[in-house]
Amino acid sequence: MAENHLIHDPHGGMPRLLEIMRRLRDPETGCPWDIEQSFATIAPYTIEEAYEVADAIEREAWDELKGELGDLLFQSVFHAQMAAEAGLFTFDEVADTMSDKMVARHPHVFGDESRDKSAEQQTVDWETIKAAERADKKQHRTLDGVAVGLPALLRAVKLQKRAARVGFDWPSTREVVDKIVEEARELAEARDTMSETEVFEEFGDMLFVIANLARHLKIDPESALRAANAKFTRRFERIEGLLAEREKTPEDSDLEEMDALWNLAKAEEKNSR
């Protein structure tokens, strides 16, 4: 069969991948696990694969990036195959929709607008075009179209950016920092005097304002937190290594000793820069 030849063609490219996906979902000869999946069950894998792409980039693991991008591409192919089976749309229509969107959003490249504009002006133009697209979708409210399924910190920043466009924003970082101090004070008070629900709410408020500070500082809070996680992991593993040299484990140690080793690991990092 021609399809079998394509499936085993190491240079079959996109047609090969689409045929593999079609065969995996074949109700008679496909894979039982793939057949029983739905948009909802596959969505978490799609999110996970996107994070693994980001992780490979963060670690500069370029030898892994090709595979991670392939895994993410496969997620799009999987969703498109299910959509085609349901008569909704095909993979080619997904690609055409993306192409149409990019052409429409880059009139300075594919149209007659001048390319002689700053990155800031291009960002303003991009947002103007996106606002028009939302209007075409009957999304007229300021916060319409900010996906609920985004990571919470990322969604917080996007919501704040939208509100800032209509003037709902602090004028400088000083007011944001003052608000963080206020929220921290309220959280400390809530810990002792309020219910679990109220403490939960106050903590969420503080995180939301911290995300706002990141926006004012032009920092991606997700990236900053990933970097902090990586730093914590690196330093704690150094603590474990130093304890191992003393024939000890963290369980054999105490906070005072581990804190001193943390400071040592921190100093080592600074001296190696």
pLDDT tens, residue by residue, 253-270: 999 999 999 999 999 998
Per the listing, tokens 């290594």 go with: 241
Tokens standing for residue 156: 């917080």
User: Which range, 7-11, 103-107, 148-152, 258-262, has the best average confidence (pLDDT)?
Assistant: 258-262
Tokens standing for residue 38: 């739905």
- pLDDT class of 272 with cuts at 50, 70, 90: confident
Q: What is the pLDDT of residue 96?
A: 96
Q: Which CATH architecture has domain 2-104?
A: Orthogonal Bundle (1.10)
Alpha helices in 166-250 (DSSP H): 173-193, 196-216, 221-245
**Which DSSP symbol is given to 143?**
T
pLDDT tens, residue by residue, 168-227: 999 999 999 999 999 898 888 878 888 888 889 889 999 999 999 999 999 999 889 988
- Secondary-structure class of domain 141-219 per CATH: mainly alpha
Instruction: List phi, psi (to 5°) of 89.
Output: -170, 170
Which of 53-67, 115-129, 160-174, 245-259 comes out lowest in average pLDDT? 115-129
CATH 1.10.287.1080 domain residues, the chain = 2-104, 141-219
Q: What percent of the chain has pLDDT over 90?
A: 64
Write the burial class of residue 33 (CB in 10 Å: 0-12 exposed, 13-18 middle, 19+ buried): exposed
Distance, in Å, from the CA atom of 264 to the CA atom of 241, rounded to the nearest integer, reads: 12
Q: What is the pLDDT of residue 138?
A: 66
Tokens standing for residue 2: 């021609």
- pLDDT class of 142 with cuts at 50, 70, 90: confident
Q: What is the pLDDT of residue 222?
A: 86
List the one residue out of 158, 170, 159, 156 whose CA is nearest residue 205.
Answer: 156
> Do residues 16 and 9 touch, judged by C-beta distance below 8 A?
yes
